[in-house]
Amino acid sequence: MSTPILSLEGFLSEKIPQLLQEHALDLKGKDKRFVESLHLALPKVYQLFHELYGAFPEAETQFLELLRSLIWSHKERSHALQERDQFKAEKGIWFLSNELAGMSLYVDRFAGNLKGMPAKIPHLEELGINFLHLMPIMESPLGESDGGYAVSDFRKVDPRFGTLEDLKALIQVMQNKGMYLMLDMVLNHTSHHHEWAKKAKAGDPEYQAFYHTYEDRWVPNEFEQAMPEIFPESAPGNFTWCEEMKRWVMTVFHSYQWDLNFRNPQVFRAMLENILFYGNLGVDVLRIDAPAFIWKQAGTSCQNLPQAHTLLRLIKQCVQVASPGMTILGEAIVAPKEIMNYFGTGEYVAQECDFAYHATQMALQWDMLASGETQVMLNAQEDVLKKPYGTSWITYTRCHDDIGLGYEDASIARAGKDPYLHRKFLKEYYSYSGDQWMSPARGVLFSSNPKTGDARISGTLASLCGLEKALFEGNGPAIELSIQKILMMQAHAIFLGGLPMIFYGDEVGYINDYSYQQDPSKNYDNRWMHRPLIDWEKVNRRKTEGTLEFQVYEGLKKLLALRKSQPVFSDWSNCTWMNPHNIHVAGLVRSRGSERRYCIYNFSESTAYLTWYVFREQGESATQLHDHWTDSLVTIGSDQEHLILEPYGFRIFEPKA
Ligand code: GLC
């Protein structure tokens, strides 16, 4: 028999006053904001918790513990961070600002370790970066780390990077400079070396209940029927036999990443405490890794289940109460319709994840680059343009992961193309097989699944834009053209609406690094080819005019500065696409009141002619347009005349009366 959870009224009238007293909170003074926001959030926290765990034995005790965690976390929050929370709150929705620009990097591959980071910050500041995503730095066993996404201790910095004190020191340096920090919370799984997994292996049933473990194949087989494989080549199947435990354990990603069982409220609370711990370190954006996977149900794909959303909403409410300055990015790399749900639906619109990756548009820009056409992209906008106000995208050309072509077949079909053939074309275009036809791209297929025909793409921005091949051939014009492509791809991501996230190395045009093939801890995962080990001599060439590093860096710097100088590029959910009068040209309108900017991109390798009518069609009354990219003024001509765009050329136009 399960114990029914005490009513909300019971908590409000009885338990909460007791808890507040127990923790000696100062209701009229320094704890006032917290207590108010706890009361405000309580009905939702209660409802969400109840939905997930109401029927669980000891639900009431678990709920009380959860409230204790919130109080504990608030009490631990430093005065300085509380002031920072206040500062952010006064800015409105601080993270929508056009003044933020991010970079994602591996601390060890970029700066050696955490202590080495401050010395590299000027390089980033000069570029216009004021937001850092440090790739996972918590303890993770070498050789079985998945780039740090197999965490064995959520509260200990891996010695390879330094110590928690080094991290705190870096955060201080960053905050003093007005910079923001994003860290990962790997919510879905732990390393099999985590102490919970070790206890489970030792036979402790309490900790076996932290994971999905089974003594035989009955349940695993049932799950496997409907679950796709994430790494079909390197980690086929979703379960691993653990000899020590003599049980099967669910391992959706690699065999060393054990999926946590969020049906167990103890797991939820333990992970929430880790989240709040990061909040109190001073994390500004928490990147929740792989949230689509956190709830499992046999007979389903175990992705995007309603309970996964309930869990995220519960996390959001708790964070808002105890760590109000920390926003949440849900790393849901799923179909466009599904991604949208991570912003919240129904009464929770804009109350789930504050950010999501714009994985759809990221992939679509690679689609446009390969095909030279914009129809598939334009046909895939219906859902993503509905992003609710108050939430935002991470916009990017690529990240540490592969590029998945995750948009729907229907968008391809609506564009008049055969989805199977179109995807085949894209895979061939980006993956170099030695005897390649005319494709300039140098990438490799990642996680090809012969059973489904699916494949994703690995490769750096520069290699996929043709720089690797052009350099290999010593082909000057091709080098120039690939730099132009790199900058157009960056411009497309930077002005898209959201927080642009540059992947480190791309700022100086790094090409693929194949040395991972010699490293047994990495050679099973070709994503390492696009995670460069930074050579600072190469980076310093950016200071020498005429080098490709100079061109790429200076171009990117100009784009970021341009975005930063114009508030209209804040993410006020203010994006529309212009009609496709030329299928090679994508035109994005960013508007705010009477302010407008037209971002025009020619995705084709040929000169494109765009009728001036496109601007009149937008109701544009100005007679001239100032292009911020080339710093030139053009006159809007008649409908029979054209704006002429060079191959892969782009413009960022501001109307001039
Ligand atoms: C996320 C990470 C990816 C990792 C996976 C498992 O998708 O971005 O690098 O392999 O989660 O944690």
3-state DSSP assignment of residue 156: strand
Q: Which residues are bridge partners to 445 per DSSP? A: 457
Q: Measured from the CA of 253, which atom of ligand 1 is nearest?
A: 6
Centre of ligand 1 to C-alpha 108, Å, is 18
> What value does the mean pLDDT take over residues 417-426?
94
Q: Is residue 18 over pLDDT 60?
A: yes
Reply yes or no on whether the pLDDT at 1 is more than 70: no
**Ligand 1 centroid – CA 20 distance (Å):** 39
State residue 234's pLDDT score.
87
Closest-lying ligand 1 atom to the alpha carbon of residue 401: 9
Residue 253 near ligand 1, beta carbon < 6 Å: yes
The string of pLDDT tens digits covering residues 314-360 is 999 999 999 999 999 999 999 999 999 999 999 999 999 999 999 99
Q: Is the pTM of this model over 0.95?
A: yes
How many residues are there in the chain?
Answer: 657
186 ligand 1 Cβ < 6 A:
yes
| pLDDT value of residue 447 | 87
Q: What is the pLDDT of residues 457-479, one digit of tens each?
A: 999 999 999 999 999 999 999 99
Nearest to 509 by CA among 470, 477, 475: 470
pLDDT of residue 3: 55
State residue 5's pLDDT score. 76
Mutate to test the pocket of ligand 1, among 185, 253, 287, 334 (most ligand atoms within 8 A of CB): 253
Residues 571 and 498: beta-carbon distance below 8 Å: yes
Question: Is the CB of 383 inside a 6 Å radius of any atom of ligand 1?
Answer: no
157: three-class secondary structure by DSSP: strand
Cα 493 to averaged position of ligand 1 atoms, centre (Å)? 22
**450 alpha carbon to ligand 1 midpoint, in Å?**
22
pLDDT tier for residue 2 given thresholds of 50, 70 and 90? very low
Residues of the chain with pLDDT > 90: what percent?
94
The pLDDT of 149-170, averaged and rounded, is 98
pLDDT of residue 434: 59
Is there an atom of ligand 1 within 6 Å of 610 CB?
Answer: no
Mean of pLDDT values over 184-194:
98
How far is ligand 1, taken at its centre, from the CA of residue 227, in Å?
A: 17
| Mean pLDDT score of the chain | 96
- The atom of ligand 1 lying closest to the CA of 146 is 10
Q: Is the CB of 207 under 6 A from ligand 1?
A: no
């292009």: which residue's tokens? Answer: 627
Query: Does the pLDDT of residue 197 top 60, yes or no?
Result: yes
In Å, what is the CA distance from 378 to each residue of 149, 196, 367, 370? 34, 47, 11, 15
Residue nearest to atom 8 of ligand 1 (CA): 401
Residue 402 Cβ contacting ligand 1 at under 6 Å: no
Query: What average pLDDT does this structure show over 103-127?
Result: 98
Please indicate whether residue 273, judged by its CB atom, sits closer than 6 Å to ligand 1: no
Per-residue pLDDT, averaged over 634-652, amounts to: 97
329 CA → ligand 1 middle, Å: 14
Note the pLDDT tens digit of each residue in 43-78: 999 999 999 999 988 899 999 999 999 999 999 999
What percent of the chain lies above the pLDDT cut of 70?
99
d(CA 428, CA 382): 28
564-567 long-range contacts (CB < 8 A, ≥24 apart) are 564/98, 564/99, 564/101, 564/128, 566/98, 566/597, 566/654, 567/98, 567/592
Superfamily of domain 97-190+266-568: Glycosidases (3.20.20.80)
pLDDT in tens, 217-267: 999 999 999 999 999 888 999 999 999 999 999 999 999 999 999 999 999
DSSP string, 172-205: HHHHHTT-EEEEEE--SEEETTSHHHHHHHTT-H
Residue 450 banded pLDDT, cuts 50, 70, 90: confident
Q: How far is the CA of 476 from the centre of ligand 1 (A)?
A: 37
Confidence of residue 179 (pLDDT cuts 50, 70, 90): very high
Whether the per-residue pLDDT at 451 is higher than 80: the answer is no
Beta strand extents in 87-152 (DSSP E only): 102-105, 131-134, 138-139
Task: Give CATH for domain 575-656.
Answer: 2.60.40.1180
132 backbone dihedrals φ, ψ, rounded to 5°: -120, 130
Atom in ligand 1 nearest the alpha carbon of residue 186: 12
Residue 435 has pLDDT above 70, yes or no: no
Structure token digits, residue 110: 């970029």
* Residue listed under structure tokens 């087989």: 221
pLDDT score, position 436 = 55
Q: Give me the active site residues, please.
A: 289, 331
Question: Which tops the pLDDT comparison, 94 or 434?
Answer: 94
Looking at residue 522, what DSSP letter applies? T
Ligand 1 atom, smallest distance to 400 CA: 9
What whole-number distance in Å separates Cα of residue 636 and Cα of residue 302? 53
Nearest to 402 by CA among 228, 528, 216, 581: 528
Q: How many angstroms separate the Cα of 648 from the Cα of each of 180, 484, 563, 644? A: 33, 6, 20, 11
Give the per-residue pLDDT at 433.
Answer: 72
Average pLDDT over residues 101-129: 98
Domain ranges of the chain: 97-190+266-568, 575-656
Return the minimum-mean-pLDDT range out of 81-85, 246-250, 425-429, 610-614: 425-429
Residue 146 Cβ < 6 Å to ligand 1: yes
pLDDT in tens, 509-526: 999 999 999 999 999 999
Mean pLDDT of 575-582: 96
Asked whether the predicted pLDDT for residue 432 surpasses 80, the reply is: no
Is the pLDDT confidence value at 376 over 80?
yes
